[in-house]
Amino acid sequence: MTLTGDMLIGASAVRGSAGTQRAFNPSTNAEIAEPIFGLGDAADVERAATLAAAAFDTYRSLPLATRAAFLETIAEKILALGDTLITRAHEESGLPIARLQGERGRTVGQLRLFAKVVRDGHFLKATIDPAQSRRQPLPRADLRLAKLPLGPVAVFGASNFPLAFSVAGGDTAAALAAGAPVIVKAHSAHLGTSELVGRALQQAVQAHGLPEGVFSLLIGAGRQIGEALVAHPAIQAVGFTGSRQGGLALQKIANARHQPIPVYAEMSSINPVFLLPAALAERAESIGKGFAASLALGAGQFCTNPGLVLACDGPGFASFLKATHDALAATPAQTMLTPGIHAVYQTGAQKVGATPGVETAVFGADAGDRPNAAQAALYVTDAARFLATPTLREEMFGPAAIVVRTRDLQEMLQVAEQLEGQLTATLQLGTADHADARRLLPVLERKAGRILVNGFPTGVEVCHAMVHGGPFPSTSNAMFTSVGAESIERFLRPVCYQDLPDALLPAALQQANPLGLWRMVDGALRQP
Ligand code: NAP
């Protein structure tokens, strides 16, 4: 497939006229010659949004089997791109080939999971409270609830997941599964990758004879097409992964609309890891090695990167630090996604290192003259300093972490209480740590979306029970997850049908249960 640098608006390839841009290779610090991308403007947003609005009722009314098959076709078309996709993503992101192959597997897996979710139909939450005409003192009407899609969704591709959280990534898969058309704003860090996946998606739309507005891909500056997209009246929800600043800016636009809409923004998290005394005494060295590997993975460019360790002082603390130090010192510097992200990382890490009372334990293997390469870094401080210095609690997007030495559990609890909302919280527990863990858990349940024991937070399973979400600022809405089957909930709303004739009800709620769904009837779950 040859890249053209065009946007994909419905079934058309459209040349943006608001300027041009080349993609960038962070490993060589040079632009990629071909193609030259044309940037879109508000008129392109208008065209894509109008098509999406026109497609909505037809698309959402398709048989569930067709919607599911469409998701599977997208997966097949992505796989059919073969090495072309992986090579281009590698060039544009600097991410290793193996990582990108894994990410492609995850992207395809997500689409297939959602195909299954759609076929099962449980997401419709079909619920029936039959009429009670003789109820005293008042009869009850026939009431039937089902979940419907919100309407067209705007998705902002993430810089750090060029496949799994971009054009056909988790947000897009969940929205399409819900029955919502999608307009993606490509991330400028991987424009060619976005076009390749966008074309695969466009082909899938055509293969199933769907209305063309089910999918569009826009290219351009966030301040122009991103803002116009969120402000467009046809858009009914937004999926975003990126900076706190970017997420909040989009939320502000969404809230200022005549009709405010939800923005599901996944923003910043430092993912605290709590090392309890018995765990440290029993296996400090292996915890150190495991932690260092998790921290440095993918140059630390994961939203679940463990950027904070709270460790009880005592036996094992020094061994943990040494093992972490040795592993990080031997970790080669890795290319970051963009010069901008690299610059922010360098500045942020240096600022932490220069903070009074913070000791630099390791600043990893020298990057030499490789551009945009990040050295892993580890800083150590005590709880009093950490509590007194709010800037130490900010996300450093990259392979850097702060270890906070705590005197005892009480101090650990005090630090935990002061943390902002997190995607994850991790406990390293030994056999004698359960009592301490019991005291920490209620705090962590208030702070985090996922709580892990004796693992590390990087590596997010795509499954039914996953929660990749959490209180602000890890996300803009703690009620939802952006990974896993439950993430479809973000793009649905309940509608109740009162006393509708059977023939006018959606199939999910008709008396004969033509979709063969498990349904809640009069408060009890009923088999088909
Ligand atoms: P970003 O700057 O937030 O950008 C993400 C996307 O949102 C881009 O497409 C961007 O468009 C758009 N955007 C940003 N601000 C906008 C605004 N005010 N109005 C409209 N659109 C806007 O994130 P990034 O480029 O991925 O990385 C920058 C920083 O974000 C990193 O250094 C890191 O700190 C953080 N980050 C965090 C995570 C995480 O998971 N926690 C993931 C990725 C990045 P344009 O670029 O075209 O303007």
Contact 473, 481 (CB under 8 A): no
Query: Residue 178, SS3?
Result: helix
Query: Residue 32, SS3?
Result: strand
Kindly state the DSSP code that residue 132 receives in the 8-state scheme: B
Instruction: Say what the pLDDT of residue 114 is.
Output: 98
Instruction: Say what the pLDDT of residue 448 is.
Output: 98
Instruction: Say what the pLDDT of residue 1 is.
Output: 80
Ligand 1 and 372: CB distance under 6 A: no
Instruction: Say what the pLDDT of residue 365 is.
Output: 64
Percent of the chain surpassing pLDDT 70 = 99
Ligand 1 and 164: CB distance under 6 A: no
Q: Supply the residue whose CA is at minimum distance from atom 34 of ligand 1.
A: 397
Residues pairing with 129 in the sheet: 143
379 Cα–ligand 1 center, Å: 26
Q: Which residues contact 83 (CB under 8 A, 6 or more apart)?
A: none
Query: Residue 128, SS3?
Result: strand
Over range 17-30, report the average pLDDT. Answer: 97
Which is the closest atom of ligand 1 to the Cα of 302? Answer: 40
Q: Which domains does the chain possess?
A: 7-20+32-267+479-490 (3.40.605.10), 272-453 (3.40.309.10)
409 Cα–ligand 1 center, Å: 37
Contact 405, 311 (CB under 8 A): yes
Task: Check pLDDT > 80 for residue 354.
Answer: yes
- Tell the burial category of 504 from Cβ atoms under 10 Å away from its Cβ (0-12, 13-18, 19+): exposed
Which is the closest atom of ligand 1 to the Cα of 244? Answer: 3
Instruction: Say what the pLDDT of residue 362 is.
Output: 83
Contact 156, 182 (CB under 8 A): no
Contact 500, 158 (CB under 8 A): no
Ligand 1 and 222: CB distance under 6 A: yes
Ligand 1 and 226: CB distance under 6 A: yes
Over range 365-391, report the average pLDDT. Answer: 91
395 Cα–ligand 1 center, Å: 14
Contact 169, 468 (CB under 8 A): no
Over range 518-528, report the average pLDDT. Answer: 97
pLDDT digits (tens, 9 = 90+) for 440-467: 999 999 999 999 999 999 999 999 999 9
Q: Which amino acid is at 517?
A: L
pLDDT digits (tens, 9 = 90+) for 78-129: 999 999 999 999 999 999 999 999 999 999 999 999 999 999 999 999 999 9
Spatial CA neighbour of 22 closest among 200, 210, 191, 219: 191
**How many other β-carbons are positioned within 10 Å of the β-carbon of residue 395?**
21
Which is the closest atom of ligand 1 to the Cα of 227? Answer: 20
304 Cα–ligand 1 center, Å: 16
**How much is the mean pLDDT over the chain?**
97
Between the alpha carbon of residue 83 and those of residues 32, 79, 172, 298, 323, the distances in Å are 18, 9, 23, 20, 38
Q: Give the integer Cα–Cα distance in Å for 227 and 223.
A: 6
Over range 250-254, report the average pLDDT. Answer: 98
Q: Give the integer Cα–Cα distance in Å for 488 and 483.
A: 9
Ligand 1 and 438: CB distance under 6 A: no
Instruction: Say what the pLDDT of residue 315 is.
Output: 85
pLDDT digits (tens, 9 = 90+) for 430-440: 999 999 999 99
For CA atoms 349, 457, 384, 473, the dihedral sign is: positive
Ligand 1 and 424: CB distance under 6 A: no
Which is the closest atom of ligand 1 to the Cα of 253? Answer: 19
**The residue to which tokens 């590997």 are assigned:** 293
Over range 260-282, report the average pLDDT. Answer: 97
Ligand 1 and 45: CB distance under 6 A: no
Ligand 1 pocket: which of 159, 218, 230, 420 to mutate (most atoms within 8 A of CB)? 159
Ligand 1 and 225: CB distance under 6 A: no
Kindly state the DSSP code that residue 123 receives in the 8-state scheme: G
pLDDT digits (tens, 9 = 90+) for 461-494: 999 999 999 999 999 999 999 999 999 999 999 9
Q: What is the CA radius of gyration of the chain?
A: 25
Task: Check pLDDT > 90 for residue 502.
Answer: yes
Task: Check pLDDT > 80 for residue 50.
Answer: yes
> Would you please indicate which residues are annotated as catalytic (active-site) residues?
266, 303
Q: Which of 71-80, 136-145, 181-190, 218-227 has the lowest mean pLDDT?
A: 218-227
CA angle 34, 38, 40 (to 5 degrees): 150
Q: Give the integer Cα–Cα distance in Å for 322 and 453.
A: 22
306 Cα–ligand 1 center, Å: 20
